[in-house]
């Protein structure tokens, strides 16, 4: 009798993380929005941007209020998202790490090995050739390759229509696009086609939008509506503040960017409606995230997109505005709708979380820097972690105004080290999430303790000790 009871208890414990053998394997839809700031949604506090469908997604699952990326720029952050490996471990080789088949394994490979149909649509930016997504676990790819941005959001996508955006690598594979087609709509449609074709078998689909990265281009009728909305909103006396090597925008006031966000949100709504129409809603895990904070700081006079206030700075910076993102997970039948989670988490956690949710194994070469969030989502129990690390070896002072830097968060304390500026900053995020009051001189014991841990981590991962300056910043 005791042995039977023990077996039942063990089975119950196992089932809490892994689906039963008789249950259908859950599908996964991961929507990754580019350069999307932590306050770029109405459900995260924006008064300008309108995101009813993303708000609906958040209300039907879990919304994280302290979600971090591993790096505040596209390539290293995406590397961490898809491999589960901190980019600092490989940035000694190059400041923009690509997926290397002999070294790394991706989320796509994990799900493909488990028998899933895998799909990648949109911005990859993690290499080409042997590093292409179809060589990294994704059966079907659309408009994915080396390009970091589209030359235009209106077809033909290979022709730049905005000053400064004649990218070396153009998006390929959409040559059939009718002139004037909007890229965000096309990528949404391609993802819907894949879901329709694979509705009768388990799938893992990634929709990685090129939006809302520059060039800042949107449909005219939507832009006009936000221009009109801005006329009804109060204008601050001061719009810019000094930040690092440049300045930072204090207010969300870009109507075209607002219209870009609305197009992404409309696509999210189409996808959610499709899942419901096909009867897949209850068996599909939906994740929405960004690769880093919004573009709000600049070193020159480039156009910026948004403001991350009350968080400090944005893309490129190790302040909260560059590292925090909107992040939500809908897991029907497991996560209670309307759940809000304040526990700090990282996009490095996506690899272990998604594989645990699906009850599949992680590849041998998968990174181990993240932790599974399954227990946090199921019971509210926080992962056994109180420390987060960041390292920026490739600053772009004349572009996004950031400096060579590293950072560590332990509990609510966060320390930033700027070696080239010979400056250390310490903040209490519980009382000062905007990082406005530097405590480095008034709390020397905490400063020295966190700096020692940061130094030890930098040595362990082989983080670069000198900045890697780019010939051309963007």
Please report the pLDDT score of residue 241 as a whole number: 97
Does residue 303 lie within any of the structural domains?
yes
**What CATH number does the domain containing 239 carry?**
3.40.720.10
CB 102 within 8 A of CB 122: no
Q: Look at residue 120 and give its three-state secondary structure.
A: strand
Does residue 17 lie within any of the structural domains?
no
Does residue 166 lie within any of the structural domains?
yes
Question: Strand 240-243's sheet: what is its strand order?
Answer: 240-243, 246-249, 297-298
Please report the pLDDT score of residue 357 as a whole number: 98
**What CATH number does the domain containing 396 carry?**
3.30.1120.10
Both 126 and 228 in a single domain?
yes
Residue environment code for 45-84, b if the CB has 16+ CB neighbours within 10 A, otherwise e: ebebbbbebbbbbbebbbbbebbbbbbbbbbbbbbbbbbb
Both 282 and 361 in a single domain?
yes
Tokens representing 429 are 């995020």
Does residue 173 lie within any of the structural domains?
yes
Does residue 67 lie within any of the structural domains?
yes
> Which residues, 6+ apart, have CB-to-CB distance to 309 below 8 Å?
39, 250, 251, 321, 434
Please report the pLDDT score of residue 162 as a whole number: 76
Q: Look at residue 238 and give its three-state secondary structure.
A: coil
Both 305 and 344 in a single domain?
yes
pTM (two decimals)? 0.93
Both 169 and 137 in a single domain?
yes
Q: Cα angle at 20 between 17 and 22, to 5 degrees?
A: 160
Both 438 and 358 in a single domain?
no
Please report the pLDDT score of residue 465 as a whole number: 85
Number of domains composing the chain: 2
The residue ranges of the chain whose pLDDT is under 50 are: 1-22, 473-474
Please report the pLDDT score of residue 471 as a whole number: 52
379, 400, 417 — which closes off a domain? Answer: 379
357, 379, 401 — which closes off a domain? Answer: 379
Both 119 and 34 in a single domain?
yes
Both 374 and 418 in a single domain?
no
Please report the pLDDT score of residue 170 as a whole number: 76
Both 368 and 405 in a single domain?
no
Q: Minimal CA–CA distance to 30: which of 169, 156, 182, 207?
A: 207
Tens of pLDDT, residue by residue over 127-136, are: 999 999 999 9
Both 393 and 375 in a single domain?
no
Does residue 14 lie within any of the structural domains?
no
Please report the pLDDT score of residue 23 as a whole number: 56
Both 336 and 218 in a single domain?
yes
Tokens representing 275 are 């899942």
Does residue 5 lie within any of the structural domains?
no
Domain of residue 260 covers 25-379
Both 444 and 372 in a single domain?
no
331, 358, 379 — which closes off a domain? Answer: 379
Both 434 and 299 in a single domain?
no
Does residue 375 lie within any of the structural domains?
yes
């Amino acid at each position: 009798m005791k042995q039977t009871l023990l077996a039942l208890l063990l089975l119950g414990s196992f089932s809490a993380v892994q689906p039963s053998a008789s249950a259908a394997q859950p599908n996964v839809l991961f929507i990754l929005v580019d350069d999307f700031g932590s306050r770029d949604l109405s459900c995260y506090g924006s008064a300008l941007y309108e995101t009813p469908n993303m708000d609906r997604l958040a209300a039907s699952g879990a919304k994280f209020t302290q979600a971090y990326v591993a790096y505040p720029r596209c390539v290293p952050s995406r590397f961490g998202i898809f491999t589960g490996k901190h980019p600092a471990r490989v940035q000694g080789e190059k400041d923009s790490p690509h997926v290397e088949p002999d070294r790394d394994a991706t989320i796509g490979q994990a799900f493909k090995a488990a028998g899933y149909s895998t799909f990648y649509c949109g911005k990859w930016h993690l290499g080409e050739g042997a590093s292409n997504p179809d060589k990294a676990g994704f059966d079907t790819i659309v408009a994915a390759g080396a390009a970091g941005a589209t030359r235009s959001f209106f077809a033909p996508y290979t022709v730049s229509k905005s000053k400064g955006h004649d990218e070396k690598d153009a998006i390929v594979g959409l040559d059939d696009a009718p002139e004037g087609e909007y890229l965000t709509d096309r990528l949404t449609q391609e993802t819907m086609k894949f879901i329709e074709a694979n509705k009768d078998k388990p799938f893992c689909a990634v929709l990685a939008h090129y939006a809302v990265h520059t060039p800042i281009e949107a449909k005219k009728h939507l832009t006009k509506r936000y221009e009109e909305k801005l006329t009804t909103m109060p204008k601050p006396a001061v719009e810019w503040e000094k930040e690092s090597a440049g300045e930072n925008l204090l207010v969300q006031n870009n109507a075209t960017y607002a219209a870009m966000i609305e197009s992404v949100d409309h696509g999210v709504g189409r996808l959610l409606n499709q899942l419901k129409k096909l009867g897949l809603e209850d068996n599909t895990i939906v994740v929405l995230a960004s690769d880093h904070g919004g573009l709000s700081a600049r070193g020159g006079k480039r156009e910026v997109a948004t403001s991350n206030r009350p968080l400090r700075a944005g893309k490129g910076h190790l302040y909260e505005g560059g590292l925090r993102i909107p992040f939500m997970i809908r897991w029907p039948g497991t996560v209670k709708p309307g759940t809000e989670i304040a526990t700090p988490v990282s996009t490095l956690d996506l690899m272990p979380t998604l594989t645990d949710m699906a009850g599949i194994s992680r590849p041998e070469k998968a990174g181990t820097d993240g932790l599974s969030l399954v227990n946090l989502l199921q019971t509210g129990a926080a992962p056994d972690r109180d420390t987060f690390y960041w390292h920026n070896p490739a600053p772009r002072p004349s572009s996004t105004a950031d400096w060579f830097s590293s950072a560590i968060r332990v509990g609510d304390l966060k320390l930033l080290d700027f070696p080239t500026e010979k400056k250390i900053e310490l903040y209490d995020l519980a009382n000062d999430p905007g990082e406005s009051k530097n405590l480095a001189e008034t709390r020397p014991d905490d400063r020295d303790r966190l700096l020692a841990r940061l130094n030890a981590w930098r040595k362990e991962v082989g983080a670069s000790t000198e900045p890697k300056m780019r010939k051309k910043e963007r």
